[in-house]
Amino acid sequence: MLVKTYGYAVQGISATKVTVEVSVGTGVNFLIVGLPDNAVKESQQRIHTALKQIDLKIPGKAVTINMAPADIKKEGSAYDLTIAMGILAASGQIEAPDISDYVIMGELSLDGEIRPIKGALPITIHARQNGFKGIIVPEANAEEASVVADIEVYKASTIKQVIDFFTGAGQLQRSETTLNEAFLNSSDFTDFDFADVKGQENIKRALEIAAAGGHNVILIGPPGAGKTMLSKRLPSILPPLTVEEALETTKIHSVAGKTGKSGSGLVTRRPFRSPHHTISDIALVGGGNHPQPGEISLAHNGVLFLDELPEFKRTVLEVMRQPIEDRVVTISRAKFSVEYPASFMLVASMNPCPCGYYNHPEKECVCAPGIVQKYLNKISGPLLDRIDLHIEVTPVPFGELNKQQNSEQSKDIRARVMEARSIQNERYKKEEKTHCNAQMSTRHLKKYCELNDTGNSLLKNAMERLGLSARAYDRILKVARTIADLDKSENIETNHIAEAIQYRSLDREGWAG
């Protein structure tokens, strides 16, 4: 007897339907074909022991399982439940006439419990597109899968519950969540607020500009000046995620198996990723033998914070150059390639020199001659070119620290940021891949960043004096456009250009020693 059950193979942040064909005939062998990896082959032992717990078994006959399409590698233990239900139906141990109407996925434990899987959200989205009536997922994945409308999502905690559902002996609990409910139930509260920051008004202004235009930022200053503290508060002034952004972000986290921590199954806050400087290049951009999203993809639609930037290996930093520009990372292998979105705000911090006190107003730098330049050279010119704002962070004087009055709250700064973003949303509403000023192309710069004669002259002088590259020129125009949006100005004025030029600290001769 031949029975077909259905699962999905996750590739990148999409999924491909896998038909599990189970045939039970004469003989005694057990065979899985269709490019299964070791985890899929080992499912025989897990299924055998799990079925024994409920007085069922893998029949002592020839069991042949084909996982089609056969040219796509099947990886992981998520097919345990798919294969087990196919074996039971093909061997006549259960009668399940409508089993092919559902996608069934889950890892089996030896006692018959169903463990969570990765990629439940993209699997459910593609199951709906392929016209399935419903999907059965582990209980831990139900909230995540149920945000997809127009498909029945059932949660199961044991294989016995799934068997009873198909034989009519019991019912599975249906999981239902709407996107609006998920957003309403999510808290936008953050532990970090700019009201806690004393002084540093110029840095707050720069971070407000960065948030308003989605610009990359690097903070340079001595130890204890507040670089990390300020960076951790940046998400509190970013606009909330839209429904589309939340779904796309959740897809990536689902594939990486990191949605369980969010509670609602849907990622409703902008991600803030802060990898340690010992991270490898594969862990940062993604990849490996079984490709997974890296930190830059997990930070999609959010912030990637690299603390102590020069301490990262140079190879790690260099692999970021293309994703920063293209906002997507492609992982290529001999037989396939996958793409992960990587549209993130890069926020980096660094000391000005190994001892940390170069250019300090009070403490003297003790680094030997040439050491400062060698330290700064750890960050390549092409990478610095891709960072829009270079901000010097100076220590806060005692008078500012001792003030009792609170600083401006994040919610007030965020209101201005959201006003600027709404201007940009209107400006780029007909553009498919451009949503904020940092994403502008050369065509957009010509259209939206026209300068008057005074502004042109000012920018020309700055370019010649600082020896700026063409990419740095573009970055200055983008930042100036954002400053103009914050001022609700239709045109870029001379003061907007002047302020944007000030945010190129590392291009100045003073930093060259």
Per domain, the residue ranges of the chain are: 2-177, 194-512
| Least confident stretch, 101-105, 179-183, 474-478 | 179-183
What's the rounded mean pLDDT across residues 152-181?
89
Model confidence band, residue 512 (pLDDT cutoffs 50, 70, 90): very low
Is the predicted pLDDT of residue 87 greater than 70, yes or no?
yes
pLDDT of residue 68: 94
Q: How far is CA 50 from the centre of its chain?
A: 36
Model confidence band, residue 495 (pLDDT cutoffs 50, 70, 90): very high
**Residue-by-residue DSSP string for 334-388:** SS-EEEEE---EEEEEE-SSSSS-TT-SSSPP-PPTTHHHHHHTTS-HHHHHT-S
Name the CA dihedral angle for 94, 97, 100, 103, rounded to a multiple of 10 degrees.
-60
pLDDT of residue 129: 95
Q: Which two tokens stand for residue 186?
A: 């999510």
pLDDT of residue 404: 64
* CA-to-CA separations, 416 to 201, 435, 487, in angstroms, rounded: 15, 17, 9
In sequence order, the 6+-apart residues with CB closer than 8 A to the CB of 406 are 195
What's the rounded mean pLDDT across residues 358-372?
82
pLDDT of residue 17: 96
Closest to 142 (Cα-Cα) out of 105, 112, 111: 105
pLDDT of residue 27: 85
Model confidence band, residue 511 (pLDDT cutoffs 50, 70, 90): very low
What's the rounded mean pLDDT across residues 69-94?
93
pLDDT of residue 181: 60
Percent of the chain with pLDDT over 90: 55
pLDDT of residue 100: 94
Return the top range by mean pLDDT from 46-55, 288-297, 378-387.
46-55
Domain 194-512 indexed as CATH 3.30.1360.40: no
What's the rounded mean pLDDT across residues 270-297?
90
- Which class is domain 2-177? alpha beta
pLDDT of residue 42: 94
Q: Which two tokens stand for residue 501?
A: 């030029």
How much is the pTM? 0.87
* CA-to-CA separations, 290 to 1, 14, 74, 286, 485, in angstroms, rounded: 34, 15, 11, 10, 44
Is the predicted pLDDT of residue 509 greater than 50, yes or no?
no
What's the rounded mean pLDDT across residues 223-243?
89
| Least confident stretch, 299-308, 331-340, 492-501 | 331-340
What's the rounded mean pLDDT across residues 430-445?
88
- Judge contact between 235 and 270, C-beta under 8 A: yes
Return the top range by mean pLDDT from 178-182, 300-304, 405-409.
300-304
Q: What is the mean pLDDT of the chain?
A: 88
